[in-house]
């Protein structure tokens, strides 16, 4: 009886007035649960942040970074070197170029696909279509690249054989860029419809009924009801993608690349891998990674405030 009373009393006054001892006796298990995750974040996420110091130090990972002497030019030696490096500039350009193409061509595709799925009148058929469209999302880039080599090879590729041509789909830089985008769309277009379809279910059916009474055509309904209904989702996702403009995937360009197109396929992530992990230039590649992370954060903040300026909720 007194237990119940005590509990309800605690509930009412919440924790502010609960003394530490009572609070901990009741809730210590919550902290027990958090021990392992917090240890994980401190060791595997925050400890590496202290190694960022290496970007301003001489290239030496045998000593802890705070004991290594500073690099030249007040520690900015590696940043200066990176921006004088033609390969880095090329990697930067490739990263931005591929991401921009992805943004411009890759963003509208799932919207279009979601609109098409939304118009599909047969529920069972729609479900099957969705399942099939989600399939490529579950394939890794290694798999996709090995399939694409079979399909798009210049002389013995399936596509060239069917069309009776010998187009080097993956063999010239521009073609490779196009294939990079196309394969990206192939992989993620279906998956990305999920979020638009969810937004579409929020549109009131009464709007469509009213439009039908007024004699609106299918396209008119899409244009005047459906698209405005998912406008905020589109803007938020577009802006979030804009925030990742300097972010770079590794698997996708790395596995799709081949010796003929390195001029187009070498992105910052690959540059860091080759210089840092393969070439042991740790300071230089840490500096490049830091530059990338910082620009990413800045872009994210900018795009978030941009989203708010558009009157959207933003992402946090």
Show contacts with other proteins in window 44-63 (CB under 8 A): 44-52, 54, 61
Q: What is the dihedral of CA 296, 302, 304, 310, to 10 degrees?
A: -150
Contact positions with other proteins (CB under 8 A) in 222-241: 237
Give the one residue of 96, 203, 244, 250 binding other proteins; rule: CB under 8 A.
250
Distance CA 190, CA 297 (A): 28
Secondary structure (3-state) at 237: helix
Token look-up 């979020």 returns: 195
Residue 165 in the binding site for other proteins (CB under 8 A): no
Give the one residue of 79, 141, 176, 180 binding other proteins; rule: CB under 8 A.
141
C-beta of 123 vs 311, nearer to other proteins: 123
Q: Measured from the CB of residue 222, what is the shortest distance to other proteins in angstroms?
A: 11
- State the CB neighbour count (10 A cutoff) for residue 78: 27
Residue 216 in the binding site for other proteins (CB under 8 A): no
Contact positions with other proteins (CB under 8 A) in 174-213: 186, 190-191, 194-195, 198
Q: What is the dihedral of CA 273, 278, 284, 287, to 10 degrees?
A: 30
Q: What is the 3-state secondary structure (H, E, C) of 104-148?
A: HHHCHHHHHHHHHHHHCCCHHHHHHHHHHHHHHHHCCHHHHHHHH
> What mask, x for binding other proteins by CB under 8 A, covers residues 99 to 128?
--------------x--xx-xxxx--xx-x
Residue 38 in the binding site for other proteins (CB under 8 A): yes
Question: Taking Cα atoms as reference points, which of 138, 117, 149 lies closest to residue 187?
Answer: 138
Contact positions with other proteins (CB under 8 A) in 273-312: 273, 276-277, 282, 285-286, 289-290, 292-293, 296-297, 300
Q: Measured from the CB of residue 279, what is the shortest distance to other proteins in angstroms?
A: 11
Element (H, E) at 95: helix 86-101
Give the one residue of 2, 21, 74, 162 binding other proteins; rule: CB under 8 A.
162
Q: Measured from the CB of residue 26, what is the shortest distance to other proteins in angstroms?
A: 7
Distance CA 107, CA 103 (A): 5
Give the one residue of 90, 105, 130, 295 binding other proteins; rule: CB under 8 A.
130
C-beta of 98 vs 141, nearer to other proteins: 141
Secondary structure (3-state) at 57: strand
Residue 218 in the binding site for other proteins (CB under 8 A): yes
């Amino acid at each position: 009886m007194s237990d119940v009373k005590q509990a309800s009393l605690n509930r009412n006054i919440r924790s502010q007035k609960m003394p530490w001892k009572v609070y901990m006796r009741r809730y210590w298990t919550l902290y027990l649960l958090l021990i392992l995750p917090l240890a994980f974040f401190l060791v595997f996420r925050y400890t590496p942040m202290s190694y960022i110091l290496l970007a301003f130090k001489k290239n030496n990972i045998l000593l802890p970074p705070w004991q290594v002497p500073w690099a030249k030019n007040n520690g900015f030696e590696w940043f200066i070197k990176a921006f004088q490096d033609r390969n880095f500039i090329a990697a930067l350009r490739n990263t931005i170029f591929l991401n921009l193409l992805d943004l411009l061509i890759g963003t509208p595709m799932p919207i279009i696909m979601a609109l098409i799925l939304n118009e599909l009148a047969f529920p069972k058929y729609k479900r099957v279509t969705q399942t099939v469209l989600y399939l490529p999302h579950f394939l890794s880039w290694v798999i996709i690249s090995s399939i694409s080599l079979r399909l798009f090879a210049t002389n013995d590729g399936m596509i060239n054989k069917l069309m009776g041509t010998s187009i080097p789909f993956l063999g010239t830089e521009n073609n490779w860029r196009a294939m990079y985008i196309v394969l990206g769309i192939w992989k993620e277009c279906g998956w990305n419809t999920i979020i638009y379809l969810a937004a579409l279910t929020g549109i009131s059916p009464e709007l469509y009924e009213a439009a039908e009474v007024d004699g609106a055509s299918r396209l008119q309904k899409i244009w005047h009801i459906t698209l405005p209904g998912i406008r905020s989702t589109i803007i938020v996702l577009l802006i979030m993608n804009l925030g990742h403009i300097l972010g770079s995937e590794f698997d996708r360009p790395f596995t799709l690349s081949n010796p003929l197109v390195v001029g187009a396929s070498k992105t910052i992530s690959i540059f860091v891998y080759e210089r840092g992990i393969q070439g042991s230039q740790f300071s230089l590649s840490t500096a490049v990674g830091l530059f990338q992370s910082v620009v990413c954060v800045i872009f994210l903040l900018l795009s978030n405030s941009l989203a708010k300026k558009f009157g959207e909720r933003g992402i946090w």
